[in-house]
Structure 1
Amino acid sequence: MTPHVEKQQLRLKLRQRRKSLSRDSRQAATKRVNRLLYRYIRRQKRIGVYWAMGSELSLLSWIVTAQQRGATVYLPYIEAHSRQLWFTPCPRLVGQRVTKRDLRLQNLYGRQGRIPQFKGDKIRVHRLNTLLMPLLGIDSQGHRLGQGGGYYDATLGKHHQLKPRLIGVGFSCQQVEHIATEQHDITIPVFVSEQGYQYFQSS
């Protein structure tokens, strides 16, 4: 079995595992992870985050707190016909009830038109100080399994000498012992879940 096929099978398994979390477990884990991530908030620093889709762990309350503490929060922007992500400032969020007006939604990207893209001056990843990354899975060596689009791998691969501090974020059920790797795959140094911080040796 090739690494590509093995990863596809693992994605199916991990998506189901994440979706199977009970509502109470999900809410408790989300609250704890958002609090654990407070340590990465720095005033006047540029911090990249993701906008949770589907069963991904939400960072909404963390974004609100980071903005209140003076950090500038950025969200990924997908340019047509390119895998190199840009990042645009997240609109100021007053609370956790978010409307289209709050977000100043520019357009929607993706097969199902669900990924929000935001207006604002675009910057490349190397201008971020910290990047909180979504993932489907992570193994005992810090190898990250994403959705399969390859955007983060392509973006961070190009700027490998200038990349920000990388932090993987997710639920503990997304941890596995081993993920098959390919040349373009990236490794992240720390994973934050409801079980705490897990650090990996740099490869």
Structure 2
Amino acid sequence: MNHTAKHKTDLRRQLRRARQNITPAQRQIAERKTQNHLSRFVVRGKRIALYCPIGSEMRLNRLIFIAKQRGAIIYVPYIEPKSLRLWFTRLPEKAVAERPRTQSRLNIPQFSGKKIRAHQLHTLIVPLVGIDERGYRLGQGGGFYDVSLAAAQRSGLPRTVGVGFACQQCAVLPIEKHDKPLNYFVCENGVQRFRQPELAPTQTPQTPAQC
């Protein structure tokens, strides 16, 4: 394991621990505030993709309700076997999974229906383990969103919105050449928009902010 990969592993452990240490009462308040902030990205007739939460990731149940009320078209990720590039399928009214993601501890539900790629979405809500002040994201390490967004980058869509708790943001994360910053980060403290810089050089990571 190289130095950057090891540092990312250490950061994931630290940031997950911070997220897990949020009390149930704090989590409930933070999720409500965050989803209220996210509602600005929900537009009638537009395609918006949400994620299926894993572990202690933020739940978006209220946002699903808001999107349905406004007439937005809701999509969720669909993982094709042996491929890192995500498809997206519409979230059915009765969310009965076509299949779980077998042979994986993630157990992400998968739904049948017509599949589209990321560039066909208007907004993509992205889960994260950490995010820095420039908009660079630290994910689970699987590479699904990195590969999917890299394939979509020339189209100008989708608008990317990272979602998490305030304690998941830190000053600087280690980045690699393929990393691209998100457009926004939304947490209980509000909406942060990032400028899209030219490719930045690899940075020396700093200690993440504490909750």
Interval of TM-score (by shorter of Structure 1 and Structure 2)? over 0.9
Tell me, which stretches of 5 or more residues in structure 2 are unaligned?
198-211
Superposition pairs of residues 64-79 of structure 1, within 5 angstroms: 64-79=65-80
Asked if 1:200 corresponds to 2:194, the answer is yes
In the alignment, the residues of structure 1 paired with residue 138 and residue 37 of structure 2 have an alpha-carbon distance, to the nearest angstrom, of 22
| CA-atom RMSD in angstroms | 1.2
Shift of 1:2: 2.0
**Residue of structure 1 equivalent to 2:145:** 152
Which residue number in structure 1 is paired with residue 45 of structure 2? 44
Conservation of the 8 A alpha-carbon contact between 1:104 and 1:119: no
Give the distance between the partners of 1:186 and 1:49, measured in 2 at CA.
Answer: 19
Retained in 1: the 8 A contact 2:54–2:106?
Answer: no
User: Could you give the per-residue CA deviations for residues 154-175 of structure 1, whole angstroms, max 9, x where no partner exists?
Assistant: 0111121123111111100000
| Count of residue correspondences | 194
Does 1:63 find its partner at 2:64?
yes
- The answer for the alignment partner of 1:6 in structure 2 is 7
- Checking the alignment, whether the CA contact within 8 Å between 1:154 and 1:184 is kept in structure 2 is no
1:108 to 71, 79, 100: 100
Equivalent position to 2:184, from 168, 182, 190: 190
Distance 2:123 2:62 in 1: 17
Q: Residue 96 of structure 1 corresponds to which residue in structure 2?
A: none
Query: Structure 1: how far apart are the matches of 2:106 and 2:158?
Result: 29
Q: Report deviation, 1:113.
A: 5.2
Match of 2:22 in 1: 21
TM-score, scaled to structure 1 = 0.92
Note if contact 1:49-1:131 (Cα within 8 Å) is conserved in structure 2: yes
What is the alpha-carbon distance in structure 1 between the residues aligned to residue 106 and residue 195 of structure 2?
38
Distance 1:15 1:113 in 2: 15
Report how far residue 200 of structure 1 moved: 1.6
Q: Which amino acid aligns with 1:170?
A: G
Note closer, same or farther for the CA distance 1:72–1:194 as it changes in structure 2 (3 Å cut).
same
C-alpha deviation, 1:4, in angstroms: 1.4
Greater CA deviation, 103-112 or 132-141? 103-112
Letter in 2 for 1:197: V
Q: CA deviation at 1:184?
A: 2.0
- Contact 1:171-1:194 at 8 Å conserved across structures: yes
CA distance in 1 between counterparts of 2:29 and 2:36 reads 11
SS at 1:30 equivalent: helix
Indicate which of 156, 159, 167 corresponds to 1:173: 167
Aligned residue number for residue 99 of structure 1 = none
Write the deviation string for residues 66-118 of structure 1: whole angstroms up to 9, x where unpaired. Answer: 012100000000000000100000112xxxxxxxxx31211111522521111
Name the CA distance, whole Å, in 1 between partners of 2:3 and 2:91.
39
What is the one-letter code of the residue matched to 1:60? N
What are the ranges of 5 or more consecutive residues in structure 1 without an aligned counterpart? Answer: 93-101
Runs of 4+ in 1 over 2 A off after TM superposition: none
Q: Secondary structure at the match of 1:148?
A: coil
SS of the residue aligned with 1:80? Answer: coil
Separation in 2 of the partners of 1:27 and 1:156? 30
Q: Is the 8 A contact 2:86 2:145 kept in 1?
A: yes
